[in-house]
Amino acid sequence: MCFSDFLSLAHPHFHSSLADPRLCCVNRPSHAANYPAILSCTHSSYTSGKLARFLFCFQSSNANDEVLKEKRSKIMARGLPKQKPIQGVKQVLVVASGKGGVGKSTTAVNVALALAANDSTKAVGLLDADVYGPSIPKMMNLKGSPEVTPKNLMRPLVNYGIACMSIGFLVEETAPIVWRGPMVMSAIEKLLRQVDWHQLDYLVIDMPPGTGDVQLSISQNIPIAGAVMVSTPQDIALLDARKGTEMFKKVNVPVLGLVQNMSLFQCPKCKHETHIFGTDGVRNLACDLGLDVLGDIPLHVHIRETSDAGKPIVVSQPQSDVKAFCLVPCNLAVKEPPEGPWRWISVSGLNDGGEDTPSGIQGQCHLGL
């Protein structure tokens, strides 16, 4: 039997009509990228031993392909990591932004406080997931190291009735976090799983800016009721806000809406209004994405002063003109857990149903419990 005839019997893609019987080249179709390639073989080497070795190698290669295919199918069958709820936490709300410096942490702190103010019977927690730039200790006026329970769990620090946890409690205030990705992910895992949250109705997570490992891991490993995106009306910030929104959609996290921060500056002396970062940029983006605008936060000196002093404006100046933070929770339609009914929560006292109250919210807030 000619060697080319043998090849044609060994595999249908090996044709016997080869130009030179002493130089056999394999004709591999484009879809057969994993087939073994035989570059050349001289006629004088067609001994039974070499044919046996060729047949063995050919069969071994096919066997390896089958093993690889089986492994690949098993990996694909696993899919995304299975989500495991945080012990003691009913619902998780993440506050995120594509761009840093748009007021995400300020929004997260005041939204958490507003959620607690809506109903004093509800327990609210605040998790600082921004490992490289933790802001929660400063804004919530908290210092010190967490206590450790007999079960080796950290106890959150509490102020204004909000249980808080941050990497900032575990390092010096001025110490930079110079960590690579694996160390950051290990820290996030500990902040999620090794904290004694006791019983929380809501856990607000202050996410780091961007769409990196932390956002992906948190979104894939814990069930999230919804995400709130924060951005200024500036075009540069809106580019990243759109990317952040699309990321949450890809990992099946519902985006509850957008918050437009630093939307308007009013001169304290002459009351002249200036749109420093542009006009209605977030509203236009929300319209394009089919989302709601949850709040319109002005650029106000009181917000900056109270945040720097560790006295967030929702608790230090609840009757001030800056009511927008209190209205953000009123616009949230947080997804209910399977066992929980929907309820109406009265927020009378936070707003009076006047002109600053969004349409349809007359002193009440629709939240899933």
CA angle 88/91/94 to nearest 5° reads 120
Same domain, 186 and 281: yes
Same domain, 34 and 114: no
Domain boundary among 55, 78, 101: 78
pTM above 0.85, yes or no: no
Q: Give the Cα separation of 110 and 320 in Å (integer).
A: 14
Q: Is residue 33 part of a domain?
A: yes
Yes or no: say if 363 and 353 are a contact pair by the CB < 8 Å rule. Answer: yes
Same domain, 156 and 248: yes
Same domain, 203 and 250: yes
pLDDT at 189: 92
pLDDT at 61: 59
Domain boundary among 35, 53, 78: 78
Q: Give the number of C-alpha atoms closer than 13 A to the C-alpha of residue 11, restricted to the C-beta side.
A: 17
Same domain, 132 and 37: no
Same domain, 60 and 125: no
Same domain, 158 and 11: no
What are the distances in angstroms from CA 162 to CA 116, 141, 197, 303?
8, 12, 11, 19
pLDDT at 235: 93
Q: Give the Cα separation of 167 and 173 in Å (integer).
A: 10
Q: Give the Cα separation of 316 and 297 in Å (integer).
A: 17
Q: Which residue has the tokens 């009123």?
A: 330
Q: Is residue 363 part of a domain?
A: yes
Domain boundary among 78, 109, 129: 78
Same domain, 194 and 214: yes
Average pLDDT per 10 consecutive residues for the chain, totaling 369 residues: 48 44 43 42 48 54 73 63 88 92 93 88 94 94 94 95 95 89 92 94 94 90 93 94 93 92 87 88 94 88 92 85 65 46 30 34 33
3-state secondary structure of 333: coil
Q: Is residue 84 part of a domain?
A: no
Same domain, 66 and 99: no
Q: Give the Cα separation of 295 and 329 in Å (integer).
A: 9
Token pair in block for residue 234: 């500036």
3-state secondary structure of 147: coil
Q: Kind of pairing, strands 200-206 and 89-96?
A: parallel
Q: Which of 331, 314, 276, 269 is nearest to 298 (CA)?
A: 276
Identify the bridge partners of residue 23 per DSSP, sorted by sequence position: 20
Same domain, 154 and 98: yes
Q: Which residue has the tokens 């939204």?
A: 111
Contacts of 141 (CB under 8 A, 6+ apart): 159, 309, 310, 311
pLDDT at 127: 97
Q: How many domains does the chain have?
A: 2
Q: Is residue 83 part of a domain?
A: no
Contacts of 106 (CB under 8 A, 6+ apart): 139, 261, 303, 307, 312
| No. of helices (H) and no. of strands (E), the chain | 11, 12
Structural domain of 29: 3-78
Same domain, 336 and 279: yes
Q: Which CATH number is 269's domain given? A: 3.40.50.300
